[in-house]
């Protein structure tokens, strides 16, 4: 195909219009747009790995975050750091989503346990967080934490980077404003609140397969239906979403109370629900 594209301008034009392939990191599909350069990502991996090794000795909980610009970069930094830890002999487990219960997933008996989108749960620590040699890494958007964060992956403030991400945010805002299709809006809203659903969830006449706790080794795909970054989606609609939108999104989740709880709790900490 590469040879054909080199010699066929017509096919090359079509190929250039195709959306980029879905980028997966730690099982989560993300926009393949990195706010950090490869050199900067490598620096962040060195710094994060060093801190995790230092903290795992005493155990406890470690908070990791970034703003909406750095979501994809944070996942890559975390994935590379986890790989490096494994090569150094540490055991690492990553817990993704969705989950079948309202509580945090059971912490695996490993040196470093990572919980993605930790701020979508009512509790922010695991029961054995104080054990020495056992570290819990809780990951979330920096704007959702109301306590000190241990490590922040900061995106550069260059105009070019912001323009690139703002263009995508504008497209999502226009999508929200242009449609009254409840399924389209609900999908974007659930994505923005970190409670995305498997494909066809709202279109199925039968109850989909039960949500289960998913152990997501680096790169393994989960059942997420969206390829939007959650934090970018929230940045796009945060000024447009109303409490009524939350209510409408929660109604069809009666069969899945844990999912409704996650949406309600995330809406509460973002000031859109009681």
- Confidence band (pLDDT; 50, 70, 90) for 251? confident
* pLDDT tens digits for range 186-197: 778 877 877 655
* pLDDT tens digits for range 76-110: 999 999 999 999 999 998 876 544 445 566 676 78
CB atoms inside a 10 Å sphere around CB 39: 8
Of residues 131, 112, 115, the one with CA closest to residue 123: 115
- Taking a C-beta distance cutoff of 8 angstroms, is the pair 150, 64 a contact? yes
Question: For the range 12-20, what are the long-range contacts, defined as Cβ-Cβ under 8 Å and sequence gap of 24 or more?
Answer: none
- How far is Cα 177 from Cα 34, in angstroms, rounded to an integer? 27
Lowest mean pLDDT: which of 3-12, 80-89, 170-179? 3-12
Query: DSSP label at 149?
Result: -
Of residues 122, 130, 78, the one with CA closest to residue 101: 122
Domains of the chain in start order, with CATH, are 28-153 (3.40.50), 159-207+224-269 (no CATH)
DSSP β-bridge partners for residue 43: none
- Taking a C-beta distance cutoff of 8 angstroms, is the pair 220, 170 a contact? no
138-158 average pLDDT score: 84
* pLDDT tens digits for range 23-73: 778 877 777 778 888 889 999 999 999 999 999 988 888 999 998 888 889
Residue 129 above 80 pLDDT? Answer: no
| Rg from Cα positions in the chain | 19
- The C-alpha angle with vertex 32 and arms to 27 and 38, in degrees rounded to 5, equals 100
Is the preceding peptide bond at 257 cis, omega within 30 degrees of 0?
Answer: no
Percent of the chain topping pLDDT 90: 18
Query: DSSP label at 112?
Result: E
- Confidence band (pLDDT; 50, 70, 90) for 153? very high
Q: Is the pTM of this model over 0.85?
A: no
């Amino acid at each position: 195909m590469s040879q054909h594209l080199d010699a066929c301008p017509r096919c090359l034009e079509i190929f250039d219009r195709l959306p980029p392939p879905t980028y997966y990191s730690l099982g989560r599909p993300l926009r393949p747009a990195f706010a950090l350069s490869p050199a900067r990502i490598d620096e962040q991996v060195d710094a994060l790995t060093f801190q995790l090794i230092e903290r795992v000795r005493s155990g406890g909980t470690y908070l990791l975050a970034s703003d909406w610009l750095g979501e994809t970069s944070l996942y890559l930094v975390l994935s590379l750091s986890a790989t490096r830890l494994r090569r150094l002999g540490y055991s690492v487990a990553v817990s993704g989503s969705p989950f079948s219960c309202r509580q945090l997933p059971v912490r695996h008996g490993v040196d470093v346990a990572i919980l993605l989108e930790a701020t979508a749960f009512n509790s922010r620590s695991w029961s054995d967080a104080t054990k020495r040699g056992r570290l819990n890494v809780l990951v979330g958007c920096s704007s959702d934490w109301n306590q000190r964060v241990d490590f922040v992956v900061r995106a550069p403030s260059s105009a070019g980077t912001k323009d690139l991400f703002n263009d995508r945010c504008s497209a999502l805002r226009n999508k929200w404003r242009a449609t009254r299709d409840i399924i389209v809006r609900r999908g974007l809203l659930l994505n923005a609140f970190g409670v995305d659903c498997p494909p066809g969830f709202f279109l199925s006449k039968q109850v989909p397969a039960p949500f289960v706790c998913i152990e997501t080794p680096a790169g393994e795909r989960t059942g997420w239906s969206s390829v939007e970054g959650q934090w970018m989606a929230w940045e796009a609609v945060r000024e447009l979403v109303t409490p009524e939108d939350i209510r409408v999104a929660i109604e069809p989740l009666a069969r899945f109370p844990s999912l409704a709880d996650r949406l309600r709790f995330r809406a509460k900490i973002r000031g859109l629900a009681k």
